[in-house]
Structures are given as structure tokens and as C-alpha cells.
Structure 1
Amino acid sequence: MANGPSGEGVIERLIRVLETFDPDHTAQTASQISRRAALPASTGHRVVAELTAAGLLERDDEGRARVGMRLWELATRGSLALGLRQAALPAMERVQSAVRQHTQLAVLEHDTALFLERLSHPEAGANITRIAGRLPLHASSSGLVLLAHAPREVIERVLASPLPAVAPDTITDSAVLRRRLSEIRRLGYAVSPGSVETVSTGIAVPILDSGTVVAALSVILPRGSRDETRTLVLLRDAAADIATTLAQARLFR
């Protein structure tokens, strides 16, 4: 791919444009995209036009660009994330039906917890997590489970980085975090009261595939809930069911 005057390749510019879309910026003008992507206006407008012509972006009634269905289609084809989500959904639905609280599936991606699915209920408590949203690994119960079982280099990289507080009870001390990760590996689960939102407690367990932790399954309870023990049992049973489903799917590939 040809480079622009800055030496940046075409792929890098495309990614910068696509990364400007998030839950708070679902529809943008080409000028807004250019500013948020830190691209010259002419470059931004050209990239947006090319992505629109390819169907990766679409125009709404006001002429603003949105992520196109074709981008979703291409990203979904053969995706490992899609297979994991499909394997997890039946067990997630059983958990969510029993606890009537947010039930979530997350994976480790680029040193963050990336949430692939979230099932909710009208009576569920506070939760900032969104599908395709990310949280720092040290902040959420899912992230702590994923980090505890991550490769050593990932753990050390996170421990060596600043640990910003998402909420007042987020772990921000690397020594405390190291001890917590060891405890999670020993216990096989994480309970995080107030680490993302003061009023909520996250409970997460690992999901294994061929002995490797590939995801985390979590429930967000109101803080102080008496359902923590029951929820943990439900999550462990669900994680075991998901692991069995993944193993069976592998047999038929």
C-alpha cells in the first residue's frame, strides 16, 4: 500500500478512520471523522468516500457516515469470536434467566478485556459494559480473570503500566494487583466489588478450551447482594458447559 506524505500507509489511515466510531460517535460527518482521526481534511474525506463506495461505511438520511453492514458481515465470517459467542450463549441465557442480572462474555485482546456479548434484564443493576466495548484488565472481574491466566509477558506489561482508577475501589497498586492475580489463579474466580461502579460487584470465572483460558464469563450483581455464592455456582456450571460445547465443536471441524 502506498504511503502518504507522513509515511503512514493506507491501511493505517483506514484503521484510524474506522476507530473514530464508538458508542458515542455512531454517525459522523467526514469533517468530524477527519478531526477525530487526526487526518488532513482532504485525506479524511477521500478515505470516507472510498470506504462508503466499498460498503464498509454507509450514509444516513443526513449524509453522515455510519459503520456499514458489509463491515460487520466481513468481520463476522469465520471469526473465532463468533464461534465462542455461539458456544457460550445457551449457558449464558440459563445464568441470566436464573439471576436476572447482566451476564457477560469477555476475551483478552490488546491488553484489555473485550466484551463479545452481554445479556441483561430490565431489573438488572448498573453496568457500563457494552458489546464490543473494552475495559482495562485490572478494573473488571472479567479482566482480572483474563489477566491472571494471561501469558507472563502480558501480566508483567500490565503491572509495569499505570493502573488508572475506573472507580474508587479499582486496584491501582501493582503489588496489590500481583497478589490478587495469584489469589484468582488459586481460587479459580474473581469477585470485584466496586471496581468498575461503586454500586456493583462483578463475579467472573474462566472458560477453558483444551486446558487454556480463552474467555471470562461474568455476572454483575448489585453490591452487597446475597446471591454471590449461588451466582458463582451458576457461573462455574455454565463455564463447564461452554468448555464441553467447544470441545465437541472441535471434534466436528
Structure 2
Amino acid sequence: MASPSKPTAAGRVLAILDTFTDRHDSQTLSSIARRSGLTLPTTHRLVGELTAWGALHRQPDGEYTIGLKVLELGSLAGHRLRLKQLAHPYLHGLHHATNTNIHLSVSVQQDVLYLESMLAPGGAPVTSRFGGRWPMHATATGRVLLAALSPEELDDLLRQPLAAYSPHTDTDPNRLRQLLAEVRQRGVAVAYDQIALGVIALAAPIVGPHGHPVASVGITAPKDRFTPHQLIPPLVSTAQKISRALNGPEEALPEDSLRTA
């Protein structure tokens, strides 16, 4: 049996893959070694094997990116892809109605993962894309999902170091507990300046068949142009429509859902 303090072979491979994020999508070998906590020789060997298999791709400049094999495996996550496909027309309607950035997110460990991201010209300056990730505590979409955790699960997450991305990012566990209580009471999350200054972020839950949030719909917008009063009604309506569609029979979406949210 392997020692608890020594990572297994699988653990070392996963540590390498886990170094690739939305903000580190192209890396040198030394960067991968440093961020994975592995020695350079071990990293060189494992990165070579992952590249040969197709999990990583070596670019002409010598840096590495995620390879097509990982994307192929990711496409097998059928339930999340069904959610993305099902939600798309409703998200498009919300995007068209508000002219803001729209996001569909699910939780992955301490992060939210974007299944869909629709950006508006001149919208909020927050980097997001399909497959991108941000920490849950710093996003409205993440806070909606955090608010649904059990007290034990929430305590475990809030014990971890919480990064700040702007001078206003909430990282104090007690402050976050208070904010999450407000999310539970209101049914929506509203956050200001958490990742970028001048940005308002809002989110509402998508509820699964057992009444538990399985994803969230989010809006990010310049806070000098929008207020919660303007954005919450269409946001909540969109989340409710997606929830009903998700929990109903699998059938063709109505034509008018392509135009309205």
C-alpha cells in the first residue's frame, strides 16, 4: 500500500493535468513541474507519456496545452452536455433580452466550471469561456451552489485558502457564511467587484428532479449600467424555465424559447 504522503502514479498524472486552468492553459515543462509539486525529471517523463497518448499537446514554442484526447473524454459527460444543449435557447433569450454576459455553470471541487458562456460587446471585463473555471466563493454562480451545500460540506470548503482577485473579493469565512444565508433567503446571489472592478454579478439556481440545485445561470454586467432590479426578474425566469425543461420529458424545445427568456 502506498504511503499517504507519497502520491501514486495516477495521482502524479492527475496533478499534472490539474495544473492546466483557464489562466494557465499553455505552460512550459518547468511551470508544470512547479505547479504540480513534482520533480523536473518525473514531470518530463509523465508529460512525454501524456503527450504520446494525446492528453497533452506540445506546441512549436515548446509549451504544452491540453490535447484532443481529454476533450474527447470530456464529451462523454452526457448529462452535463444535455444540460448545456437544453439550456442554450433560454440562455440565448436572456442574452438577447439583457445584452449582458451570460453563463451556465456547474460545480467542480472548489470551482465553478462554465458549460456555456455568451459574451456581450462592451460587456463586463471578466474572462470566461466554455470549460473555464473560477473559484466558487468569488462568483455569483458559485455562491448559488455553495448556498445549497450541507453545513459540513461548506465548513470543509471554507477551511481551504480562499484567493482574492480584486481588493473587494470576499475571503473571510464568516462574511461568506452571512452572504450565503442571504442567497438562501433571496433565492439569488448578487455580488460586486469580486473578480474585476466595476462588475455586478448575479446568479440563480437550476433545480434538478430532487429539488436540489444542479447548476446555475449567471449574469455579469458593468455595474454603472445595470441594477439588480433590472436583471433579477429575467434571470430568475430563465433559471426556472431551464429547471422545468430539465425535469420534464425529453422533447423538442418550443420555438418561442429561441426568442424569449
Structure 1 length-normalised TM: 0.85
The residue type equivalent to 2:241 in the other structure is D
Residue 233 of structure 2: aligned partner: 233
Residue 78 (structure 1) shift: 3.3
Output the aligned Cα RMSD. 2.7
Rounded to whole Å, the distance in 2 between the matches of 1:38 and 1:50 is 18
Q: Deviation string for 1:34-68 (max 9, x for gaps)?
A: 34433233322221221122122223234543211
Taking a change above 3 Å as real, the CA distance of residues 55 and 137 of structure 1, as seen in their structure-2 partners, is: closer
Number of aligned residues: 250
Structure 1 stretch displaced more, 89-98 or 165-174: 165-174
Kindly state the Cα deviation for residue 109 of structure 1 after the two structures are TM-superposed. Answer: 2.2
Is residue 112–residue 134 contact of structure 1 (8 Å, CA) maintained in 2? Answer: yes
Q: Residues 186 and 17 from structure 1, CA distance in 2 versus in 1: closer, same or farther, beyond 3 angstroms?
A: same
**C-alpha distance in structure 1 between counterparts of 2:165 and 2:30, whole Å:** 31
Tell me which moved more, 30-39 or 241-250.
Answer: 30-39
Q: Is the 8 A contact 1:205 1:217 kept in 2?
A: yes
The answer on whether the counterparts of 2:106 and 2:216 sit within 8 Å (CA) in structure 1 is yes
Q: Is the 8 A contact 2:203 2:217 kept in 1?
A: yes
Deviation at 1:95, TM superposition (A): 0.8
Matched, 1:40 2:59: no
Superposition pairs of residues 105-116 of structure 1, within 5 angstroms: 105-116=104-115
Determine the structure 2 residue equivalent to 1:20.
Answer: 19
Compared with structure 1, are the counterparts of its residues 137 and 251 closer, same or farther at alpha carbon in structure 2 (3 Å cutoff)?
same
How far residue 29 of structure 1 moved from its aligned partner, in angstroms, is 4.2
Secondary structure at 1:49 match in 2:
helix
Larger RCO (CA under 8 A, 6+ residues apart):
2
CA contact (8 A) 1:206 1:214 kept: yes
TM-score normalised by the chain length of structure 2:
0.83
Give per-residue Cα distances to partners, 1:199-227, cap 9 Å, x unaligned: 01111111101111011111012113345
Segment drifting more, 149-158 vs 92-101: 149-158
- Which residue of structure 2 lines up, in the alignment, with residue 139 of structure 1? 138
Partner-residue secondary structure (3-state), 1:205: strand
Query: Residue by residue, what CA displacement relative to the aligned partner does 1:167-202 show, whole Å, maximum 9, x if unpaired?
Result: 333334433332322221121111112233220111
Mapped partners of 2:176, 2:235: distance in 1? 23
Displacement of 1:163: 4.7
Q: Structure 2 regions of 5+ residues with no counterpart?
A: 253-261
Preserved contact between residue 194 and residue 201 of structure 1 (Cα < 8 Å): yes
